Amino acid sequence: MHAVRPATLEDLMVVASWIRTPDECERWGGTQVPFPIDRVALPDTIGFTEQNAYVMIVGGSLIAFGQIFDKPQHRQHLAKFIVSPIHRGRGYGRKFLYDLLGRTTVDRVSLNVNQDNSAAIALYAAAGFVVADRPPDQGASARTRYMERKRNDAQ
């Protein structure tokens, strides 16, 4: 059994502890979050609020984190999606992704994913995301793919 709830600053600090290398940091935060992570600046750096950030809890343990941002043209953007390293490969990412998608309020949802992260790309593709043209308001590192999902395209 799992639960999804709004994230707290304490949760964010746990998530920051999962990121141990510059490559992991770029996969999670793109070029927006410098490594080593400045935990004092991190909430402002990623635009953290308890209204846009969520965590998945399983058996009392924090398993996953993600954010949902409102964007222009009736689009919402999933960001900073991460599953705890010791819980990857067990289906939690899929469950959490669908929980977050259930919290979106528009028909068009986007995300950026590191082009080398084949597991994440497969997860997003299975959820109906496809590679799309990046809108001008959506910055990202050169190593990312921009993907979108429309409700009527989802499986």
Report DSSP letters for 12-70, one per residue. Answer: HHHHHHH--SHHHHHHHHTTTS-SS--TTTHHHHTT--TTTEEEEEETTEEEEEEEEEE
The pLDDT assigned to 149 comes to 98
Band of residue 151 on the pLDDT scale cut at 50, 70, 90: confident
pLDDT tens profile 104-143: 999 999 999 999 999 999 999 999 999 999 998 787 678 8
Residues 155, 124: Cα–Cα separation, whole Å: 11
SS3 of 87, please?
Answer: helix
* pLDDT at res. 154: 56
Provide the pLDDT for residue 1: 86
Place of tokens 């990623």: 46
Domain spanning 2-153: which superfamily?
A: Gcn5-related N-acetyltransferase (GNAT) (3.40.630.30)
pLDDT (mean) for 85-101: 97
Mean pLDDT for 28-54 is 96
pLDDT in tens, 48-80: 999 999 999 999 999 999 999 999 999 999 999
pLDDT over 70 at 101, yes or no: yes
pTM confidence score: 0.94
Residue ranges per structural domain of the chain: 2-153
What pLDDT does 153 receive? 59
